[in-house]
A = this chain, B = another copy of it.
């Protein structure tokens, strides 16, 4: 998969997340590494579904996308309203804004490794 194809494939993946598609088998390997931990695709899907439950209006807004070889790096912005406790903090009913900086390694066109950092400081400041 060349970089242009991988870029479009990744944007399709983001669209699926925003449509709340639960089956990510077209984009994610059966097993992957997520922040150094082994995880099945089902566990990965469950993690994404968990966050969609905490933040029903969560929308993945691609801000910066860098793709080369089998690597994708993305800065994703969120402007959304938690309705359940998030990182130990109760929802306020107000919209919060934060970013995720995430790196992926694709293998045969599917995500095999993910390293994600979320701006928890921004979240804490807005929910406290």
Contact = CB atoms under 8 A, between A and B. Distances in A.
Interface string A85-118: 0000000000000010111000000000001011
A118 B115 CA distance: 12
A112 B32 CA distance: 35
A75 interface: yes
A52 B98 CA distance: 27
A65 B44 CA distance: 24
A113 to B, nearest CB: 9
19 contacts: A64-B71, A64-B103, A66-B66, A66-B68, A66-B72, A68-B68, A73-B101, A73-B103, A75-B103, A75-B115, A99-B117, A101-B101, A101-B102, A101-B103, A101-B117, A117-B117, A117-B118, A120-B120, A120-B121
A83 interface: no
Nearest to A69: B66
A3 B103 CA distance: 18
A119 B120 CA distance: 9
Contacts of A64: 71, 73, 103, 115
Contacts of A73: 64, 66, 73, 101, 103
A67 interface: yes
